[in-house]
Amino acid sequence: QQPVQSPQAVILREGEDAVINCSSSKALYSVHWYRQKHGEAPVFLMILLKGGEQKGHEKISASFNEKKQQSSLYLTASQLSYSGTYFCGTGRFGGNQFYFGTGTSLTVIP
């Protein structure tokens, strides 16, 4: 029931774009995205609810395809500060399940 993230790791140069995918085998109601820097707590990026809406914050945005049970996180014009491990978390209908993906390590180099 743990969502699957891809890729597992990616290295980018500053200014390049990246896409991180999150797929579930179960019907989803919500998808969360978090970023964790080494030695720090995961930090919330955004939550998407069913309806296929897309959300964005500056150069980071995400989409949620309810029918495909997938979400994608888009990072455009990456900055060094984007480095970290990105986790998706999924919520299902009925509410109380908490499942996170295994994470995607993203490294931005100058």
Partner 1 sequence: KAGVTQTPRYLIKTRGQQVTLSCSPISGHRSVSWYQQTPGQGLQFLFEYFSETQRNKGNFPGRFSGRQFSNSRSEMNVSTLELGDSALYLCASSLASGMNTGELFFGEGSRLTVL
| Interaction of residue 96 with partner 1, rule CB under 8 A | yes
| 77 sits near partner 1 (criterion: CB under 8 A) | no
Q: Is 43 in the site for partner 1 (CB under 8 A)?
A: yes
Stretch that binds partner 1, among 12-20, 26-34, 63-71, 76-84 (CB under 8 A): 26-34
- Per the DSSP assignment, residues forming a β-bridge with 87 are 34
* Residue 79: half-sphere exposure toward Cβ, Cα within 13 Å: 4
Q: Are 47 and 30 in contact (CB under 8 A)?
A: yes
Q: Which of 12, 73, 90, 106 binds partner 1 (CB under 8 A)?
A: 90
Q: Name the residue nearer to partner 1 (CB basis): 74 or 99.
A: 99
Q: How far is CA 57 from CA 52, 60, 74, in A?
A: 17, 5, 10
Residue 4: name the closest of 26, 24, 31, 29 by CA. 24
Residues that bind partner 1 (CB under 8 A): 2, 29-30, 32, 34, 40-44, 47, 49, 87, 89-92, 95-103
